[in-house]
Amino acid sequence: MSKYRRTCLIRGDGGRAIRGILDRVGDKWTLLVVATLDGERMRFTELQQRIPGISQRMLTRTVRHLERDGLVSRTAYAEVPPRVEYELTPMGRTLIEPAVALAEWAVDNNPDIERNQTAYDTERP
Would you state the pLDDT for residue 99?
A: 85
| Within a domain: 53 | yes
On the question of pLDDT at 68 being above 70, the answer is yes
| Within a domain: 20 | no
The total of structural domains in the chain comes to 1
Q: Which residue has the higher pLDDT, 3 or 30?
A: 30
| Within a domain: 5 | no
Distance CA(66)–CA(60), nearest Å, equals 10
Would you state the pLDDT for residue 74?
A: 96
Pairing of strands 83-88, 42-43: antiparallel
Supply the CATH number for residue 41's domain. 1.10.10.10
97 alpha carbon, distance to own chain's centre: 12
| Within a domain: 92 | yes
| Within a domain: 18 | no
| Within a domain: 12 | no
Task: For 15-43, write each residue's pLDDT tens digit.
Answer: 777 778 888 888 889 999 999 999 999 99
Q: Which domain holds residue 72?
A: 29-123
| Within a domain: 3 | no
Distance CA(33)–CA(27), nearest Å, equals 11
